[in-house]
C-alpha cells in the first residue's frame, strides 16, 4: 500500500512547483477546491474586463466598425492559430466556430465524402462504445443520411475491428468516463494501413495533454473551448482539417462566412480555400474574445515548458491522488477505473464507488467545497457509476489533492454522504 504524503509535504511540492504562478491568472472562489476543469474550466482573471471591453467599447462605441477596427472578422482564425499551437496544427489550419457537435457534423460529413470518393463501397463508421454520446448521435445521423452503419466496439476491440470495411474511424482521444488515452499516432497509422480516415475529438485532451495532429498524420479533429481551454460556458469550439483534405469537399453547412468572398454576396456558394470553409455563420465575438483569454492562460506556460511541463505536473497530481486514495481510503469501496499507467492516462481520475451512492458522495464533497462531478453508469462492473475528478495543472495545487482525499475519506468513514442534499448538478461534459 502507498504511504500518504502529509499536507505539509504537499505544500512543499507546491512551493517548488515552477508553474505555481499561473494560478494567479484565474479567479477561484474562496473556499472552493475545484476539480472539475474537465467539465468547465475556471474563469481567467482577464475574462471579465475583456468581455466588458468588447461590450462597452468595441460594440458600444465602435459599433459595426469593430468588425474591421477591432479585428472581429479574423477572430476565428486568430484564436484558431493560438489553439493550433497547443494541438500541433500549423497557422491557418484550425478555426474556431460553432459547437463541438456542429463541428463534428461538418468534419465527419467531409470525411465520409472523401472516403466514399476514394474507396467506394465502404459503409462503416467505427467508434468506441463508451465515446461521448453526442459524438455517437451525430455519427448515427450521418450514417442514416449516407446509407452507412455505425459500429461500436470497446477500446480493446478497436484494433481488431479496424479493417477494410471501415470508411472512417471516429474516436475521442481521452475517454470522458475513464480518462484513458488512445495513442493517436499509432491508431491513425493503423487506420491508414486499412484505407480508413481518422477523425479525433480532442474535447478532453486539448489543453490537458500534448497533442500533435500533424505529427500523428490525423485527418480531421474537433475540440471543445470550455474545458481545459478555460473559455467559459458554451464557449465556441474548434475544427481542424489536414491540409491534404481541407479543400477537397464542401462541408455541409455552407454558410456565408465559409464563402470564398463573403462580402460579394454572391447567390452561388464558392467555398473558401482550406479550413476557413468550415466556418458557417457570423462568429460569436464575445464568446471568441473570452475564449482567447482562456487560451492565453495556456500559452502563458510556454516560457515554463509549455504543454510538456503542464503534462508533467498533471501526471504528478494524478499520481498523488491515486496514491492518497489507495493509502487513506482502503477498504471504503473505491476502485479507480483510470489507467495506473501514466502513459495512457489523461488529466483526470475516475473512481467507482461500491459501498455508497456515488451521486450522494459527490454531493457531500460539493457541500464541503470539493467540486468534482458524477457520471452515472449502467450499474455493471464494466460501466459503474463514477466519481470524476479533473486536474488542471494551471491552477490545481498538490494541497488541493490532499484536501480532496481528506474530505472523501471523512465522508465515507462517517457516512456523511447519507445526509447530503440531493441538489441535481446539471454539469455538461
Annotated binding residue 226 = yes
- Give the pairing of strands 124-128 and 166-172: parallel
Cα distance between residue 184 and residue 182, in whole Å: 6
Q: What confidence score (pLDDT) does residue 2 get? A: 57
Q: What confidence score (pLDDT) does residue 236 get? A: 98
Annotated binding residue 6 = no
Annotated binding residue 135 = yes
**Predicted TM-score of the model (pTM):** 0.96
Cα distance between residue 186 and residue 201, in whole Å: 16
CA angle 377, 224, 335 (to 5 degrees): 30
- Give the pairing of strands 149-153 and 124-128: parallel
Q: What confidence score (pLDDT) does residue 378 get? A: 73
Q: What confidence score (pLDDT) does residue 388 get? A: 97
Annotated binding residue 389 = no
Q: What confidence score (pLDDT) does residue 249 get? A: 87
In CATH, the number for domain 71-299 is: 3.40.640.10
C-alpha cell at 428: 455538461
Annotated binding residue 100 = yes
Q: What confidence score (pLDDT) does residue 427 get? A: 44
Q: What confidence score (pLDDT) does residue 377 get? A: 83
Cα distance between residue 268 and residue 394, in whole Å: 47
Cα distance between residue 15 and residue 21, in whole Å: 10
Annotated binding residue 201 = yes
Query: 7-45+306-419: which CATH topology?
Result: 3.90.1150
Please list the active-site residues: 132, 201, 226-227, 388
Annotated binding residue 250 = no
- Low-confidence stretches of the chain (pLDDT < 50) are 1, 424-429
CA distance from start to end of the chain: 33
Annotated binding residue 392 = no
42 three-state secondary structure: coil
Annotated binding residue 101 = yes
Q: What confidence score (pLDDT) does residue 428 get? A: 44
* Residues 429/348, Cβ–Cβ less than 8 Å: no
Residue 190 CA neighbour count, 13 Å, CB half: 13
Annotated binding residue 282 = yes
Q: What confidence score (pLDDT) does residue 383 get? A: 80
Cα distance between residue 125 and residue 110, in whole Å: 13
**What residue ranges do the domains of the chain occupy?**
7-45+306-419, 71-299
Q: What are phi and psi of 393, to 5 degrees?
A: -65, -15
Q: What confidence score (pLDDT) does residue 424 get? A: 46
Q: What confidence score (pLDDT) does residue 58 get? A: 98
C-alpha cell at 415: 457516512
Q: What confidence score (pLDDT) does residue 421 get? A: 58
Annotated binding residue 91 = no
Q: Output Rg (C-alpha) for the chain, integer angstroms.
A: 22
Amino acid at each position: 500500500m502507498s504511504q500518504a504524503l502529509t499536507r505539509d509535504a504537499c505544500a512543499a511540492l507546491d512551493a517548488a512547483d515552477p508553474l505555481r504562478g499561473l494560478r494567479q491568472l484565474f479567479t477561484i472562489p474562496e473556499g472552493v477546491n475545484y476539480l472539475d476543469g474537465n467539465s468547465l474550466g475556471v474563469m481567467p482573471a482577464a475574462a471579465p474586463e475583456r468581455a466588458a471591453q468588447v461590450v462597452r467599447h468595441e460594440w458600444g462605441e465602435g459599433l459595426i466598425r469593430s468588425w474591421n477596427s477591432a479585428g472581429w472578422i479574423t477572430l476565428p482564425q486568430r484564436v484558431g492559430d493560438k489553439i493550433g499551437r497547443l494541438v500541433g496544427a500549423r497557422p491557418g489550419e484550425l478555426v474556431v466556430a460553432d459547437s463541438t457537435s456542429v463541428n463534428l457534423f461538418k468534419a465527419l460529413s467531409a470525411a465520409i465524402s472523401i472516403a466514399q470518393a476514394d474507396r467506394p463501397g465502404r459503409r462503416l463508421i467505427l467508434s468506441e462504445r463508451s465515446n461521448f454520446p453526442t459524438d455517437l448521435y451525430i455519427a448515427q445521423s450521418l450514417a442514416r443520411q449516407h446509407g452507412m452503419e455505425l459500429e461500436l466496439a470497446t477500446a480493446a476491440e478497436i484494433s481488431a475491428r479496424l479493417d477494410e470495411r471501415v470508411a472512417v474511424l471516429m474516436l475521442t482521444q481521452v475517454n470522458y468516463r475513464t480518462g484513458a488515452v488512445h495513442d493517436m499516432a499509432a491508431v491513425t497509422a493503423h487506420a491508414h494501413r486499412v484505407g480508413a480516415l481518422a477523425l479525433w475529438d480532442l474535447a478532453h485532451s486539448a489543453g490537458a495533454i500534448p497533442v500533435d495532429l500533424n505529427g500523428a498524420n490525423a485527418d480531421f479533429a474537433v475540440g471543445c473551448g470550455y474545458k481545459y481551454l478555460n473559455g467559459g460556458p458554451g464557449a465556441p469550439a474548434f475544427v481542424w482539417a489536414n491540409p491534404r483534405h481541407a479543400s477537397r469537399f464542401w462541408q455541409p453547412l455552407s454558410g456565408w462566412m465559409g464563402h470564398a468572398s463573403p462580402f460579394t454576396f454572391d447567390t452561388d456558394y464558392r467555398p473558401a480555400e482550406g479550413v476557413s470553409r468550415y466556418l458557417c455563420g457570423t462568429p460569436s465575438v464575445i464568446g471568441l474574445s473570452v475564449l482567447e483569454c482562456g487560451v492565453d492562460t495556456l500559452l502563458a506556460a510556454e516560457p515554463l515548458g509549455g504543454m510538456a511541463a503542464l503534462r508533467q505536473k498533471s501526471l504528478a497530481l494524478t499520481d498523488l491522488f491515486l496514491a492518497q486514495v489507495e493509502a487513506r481510503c482502503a477498504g471504503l469501496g473505491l476502485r479507480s477505473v483510470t489507467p495506473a499507467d501514466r502513459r495512457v492516462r489523461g488529466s483526470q481520475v475516475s473512481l467507482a464507488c461500491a459501498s455508497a451512492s456515488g451521486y450522494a458522495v459527490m454531493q457531500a464533497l460539493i457541500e464541503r467545497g470539493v467540486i468534482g462531478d458524477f457520471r452515472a453508469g449502467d450499474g455493471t462492473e464494466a460501466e459503474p457509476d463514477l466519481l470524476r475528478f479533473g486536474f488542471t495543472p494551471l491552477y490545481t495545487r498538490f494541497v488541493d489533492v490532499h484536501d480532496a482525499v481528506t474530505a472523501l475519506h471523512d465522508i465515507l468513514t462517517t457516512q456523511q454522504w447519507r445526509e447530503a442534499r440531493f441538489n441535481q448538478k446539471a454539469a455538461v461534459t
